Amino acid sequence: MRAVCTIVLLLLAASASAQQVAIIANRSVPADSLSQREVLDIYSGDVRTWKNGVPVVPFDLSQDGVVRDTFYEYLGKKSSRMKSIWMKNLLMGECQPPRTVDNEIKLLDQVSATPGGIGYLSLQSVNDSVKVLTVIAGSPAPD
């Protein structure tokens, strides 16, 4: 009985710490939700303008962590792969890589301040200064 209870509690704890990541965008962005494909295109540099012609400005977190891992898992590509894509885009002069910020607070500020900005952070960090396009239910945090 005690073993069962312990296992249940651990599972609950695990599920509780499953990171929910929100994809946020500047409030002026003419979209209220995006599909996974669209997000991937944006971050791959294949989509560079919003429908209203405003350039897309993607932001990326620099610190390794669950949020980052969850986001890239959602995109379906590893971060290192994305970096290769960005490097190619950069060298071919196509477009700049997403802007890197140190932490979520900076990201939030940047996205809310940049028209056409789009980024990702943990759901609990979201506030009204930005609009939430998608919420990703991540996998439980590794031990």
Partner 1 sequence: MQFRHWKLGVKFTVAVGVVFALMAAGNLWSMSVILSLKSDLDDVSRNWMGRIIAISEINRSTADLRMRQLRYVASDSLAVLQEQGAEIITLIDQINNNRDTYEELRRISTRKPADSLYEWGLYDAFDRNWDAYQTDILSVIQSKLVGGALQTVIIGSDPPGDIFDSIRVSLNKLVEINKSYAVKAADAAEARLQAFRVASEILLIGSILMSGVFTIVIVRLITRPIRKLVAAAGQVADGELDVRLDIDSRDEIGNLAASFNVMTRALRDSRDRSVRQSAELQRQHSELQAAHLGLASQKDETDRANRGLADALHKLREAQEELLMKEKTAFLGQLVAGVAHELNNPAGALMSADDVSRRILNRLQAINAQRPEATAEVAPLIKSLENNLEVSRTAAERIRDIVSSLRSFARLDEAEVQQADIHQGIDSSIILLGTEVPNRITMTKNYGDLPRITCRPAQLNQVFYNILRNAVDAIEGQGAIAISTETDGDFALLRFSDSGRGIPADRLQQVFGFTLGQGAGRVRMGSGLIASYSIIQQHRGDIAIESTEGVGTTVRIRLPLGRS
**Residues near partner 1 (CB under 8 A):** 62, 64, 78-81, 83-84, 86-88, 90-92, 96-97, 100
Question: What is the smallest separation between the CB atom of 104 and partner 1, expressed in angstroms?
Answer: 18
Q: DSSP letter string over 39-84?
A: HHHHHHTS--B-TTSPBPEEEEE-S-SHHHHHHHHHHTS-HHHHHH
- 34/101 with CB nearer partner 1: 101
Q: Which is nearer to partner 1, 64 or 143 (CB)?
A: 64
Minimum distance between the CB of residue 64 and partner 1, rounded to whole angstroms? 8
Q: In the complex, what is the shortest distance from the CB of residue 91 to partner 1, in angstroms, rounded to a whole number?
A: 4
* Minimum CB–partner distance for residue 124 and partner 1 (Å): 26
First to last CA, the chain: 25
Q: Report in angstroms how near the CB of residue 98 gets to partner 1 at its nearest.
A: 10
Q: Which is nearer to partner 1, 20 or 73 (CB)?
A: 73
For 41, 89, 119, the CA distances from 61, given in Å and listed in that order, are 18, 19, 8
Backbone angles phi, psi at 47, to 5 degrees: -115, 120
**What is the number of residues in the chain?**
143
Report the residue number, 3 or 91, with the smaller CB distance to partner 1. Answer: 91
Number of helices (H), then strands (E), in the chain: 5, 5
Return the number of the residue (27 or 83) whose C-beta is nearest partner 1. 83
Please list, in sequence order, all residues whose beta carbon lies within 8 angstroms of the beta carbon of residue 93, skipping any fewer than 6 positions away.
Answer: none
